[in-house]
Amino acid sequence: MKVLVATEKPFAEIAARKIKELIDAAGYEAVFLENYKSASEFASAVSDADALIVRSDIVSAELLDAAKRLKIVVRAGAGYDNLDLEACTRHNVVAMNTPGQNSNAVAELAFEMMLYMARSGFSGKSGTELRGKTIGIHGFGNVGRYVAEISGGFGMTVSAFDPYIAEDVITGYGIRACKSAKELYSECQYISLNIPFNKETGSSVNYSLLSGMPVPAVLVNTARKEIIDEESLLKMFAERPDFRYLSDVAPDCKALIEEKYSGRFLFTAKKMGAQTEEANSNAGIAAINQIVDYFKTGNQKFRLNK
Ligand code: 3PG
């Protein structure tokens, strides 16, 4: 049984070592493909793999065509917009993710970016504090809940909105539950985006929501760049001098923003949210454990496709 760990953005060394130990302990063969440069390199590595672990690596119908022996793919992480689930089903491949395993790292990154911006990029210029500011959490899943917890520690006033989570779950965290995204944005100076990217959420963070934000408006995106409507983003930068955008990773219109709005944005060069030793270890270990469990007992608890 061959397990391919294909990570264009490699796991921390300590995490890769633990994953290998668990693959060895199960009596399987471990193969690591890191920093690969093309889809064809990935396709040739997966051709004789029985199981596959990926991060944001693209698992497309074409890749699955090449993966003749593949039975299971596990996305070591939460968001699975990189997996073609219908193609997985057509190819009889079980697709899973590892929800919750890297959420704290992503929530911490939101605050790291917020603090950097609040303190004027550590430039020596006077900045602002987080205490007493309002923060709205858009999406109250695993990451949103950690953001709520940390926001409380900073003395922020916290609200959340999630159409799929019951209000009493949100209020159970001692924070306010909003009835709509519009209400959330109209009340909060900071908005933390913690929603997945899918057909429903693509370009859904738009001018109608953003323009309602009170001053100063700081949008923090540790989710996916695709959930933002970029025309609206540019309009906000142009119309609202108080508007700041902090994003893991940069939008497609990055060059325009860099040219005109210096000091009002922060973009990571590569997706950084889950780039900690702890998150890599948690997600990677969960992924290999799920694979071993699937082969040994048939457990499909984290299955995403039908
Ligand atoms: C996730 O969805 O789990 C995070 O965005 C992490 O993505 P990454 O594994 O590519 O860093």
DSSP 59: B
Residues 216 and 279 in one domain: no
**Ligand 1 atom closest to Cα of 275?**
11
Query: Residue 17: CB partners within 8 Å, gap ≥ 6?
Result: none
**Mean pLDDT of the residues in the chain:** 98
CB 266 within 8 A of CB 219: no
CB-hemisphere CA count at 13 Å for 123?
A: 9
Substitution site in 102, 108, 142, 197 for ligand 1 pocket (most atoms within 8 Å of beta carbon) = 102
- How many whole angstroms from 80 Cα to the centroid of ligand 1? 9
Confidence of residue 158 (pLDDT cuts 50, 70, 90): very high
Which residue's C-alpha comes closest to atom 5 of ligand 1?
Answer: 79
Per-residue confidence (pLDDT) for residue 299, from 0 to 100: 98
Considering Cα of 222, then 108, then 73, then 54, what sign does the dihedral take?
positive
Residues 108 and 248 in one domain: yes
Long-range (24+ apart) CB contacts under 8 A made by 298-306 are 300/94, 300/96, 302/74, 302/96, 302/97, 302/98, 302/99, 303/94, 303/95, 303/96, 304/80, 304/83, 304/85, 304/95, 304/96, 304/97, 305/85, 305/86, 305/88, 305/89, 305/93, 305/94, 305/95, 306/89
Over residues 148-155, the mean pLDDT reads 98
- How many whole angstroms from 184 Cα to the centroid of ligand 1? 25
Per residue in 166-212, pLDDT (tens digit) is: 999 999 999 999 999 999 999 999 999 999 999 999 999 999 999 99
- How many whole angstroms from 247 Cα to the centroid of ligand 1? 14
Residue 303 lies inside a defined structural domain of this protein: no
- Tell me the angle at which helices 103-118 and 277-297 cross, rounded to the nearest 10 degrees: 160
Residues 125 and 210 in one domain: yes
- How many whole angstroms from 109 Cα to the centroid of ligand 1? 12
**Ligand 1 atom closest to Cα of 222?**
5
**Ligand 1 atom closest to Cα of 272?**
11
Q: How far is CA 125 from CA 129, 175, 232, in A?
A: 13, 33, 29
Q: Which helix (H) or strand (E) holds 247?
A: strand 244-247
Residues 220 and 288 in one domain: no
Nearest to 268 by CA among 54, 41, 56, 82: 56
Residue 9 CA to residue 217 CA, distance in Å, equals 32
Domain membership of residue 146 as a residue range: 103-267
Per residue in 87-145, pLDDT (tens digit) is: 999 999 999 999 999 999 999 999 999 999 999 999 999 999 999 999 999 999 999 99
Residue 105 CA to residue 31 CA, distance in Å, equals 26
Per residue in 28-40, pLDDT (tens digit) is: 999 999 999 999 9
Residue ranges lining ligand 1, Cβ < 6 Å: 9, 55-56, 77-79, 102, 271, 273-274
- How many whole angstroms from 58 Cα to the centroid of ligand 1? 12
Strand partners, 245: 219, 265
Residues 173 and 262 in one domain: yes
Residue 305 lies inside a defined structural domain of this protein: no
Residues 203 and 283 in one domain: no
Substitution site in 271, 275, 276, 277 for ligand 1 pocket (most atoms within 8 Å of beta carbon) = 271
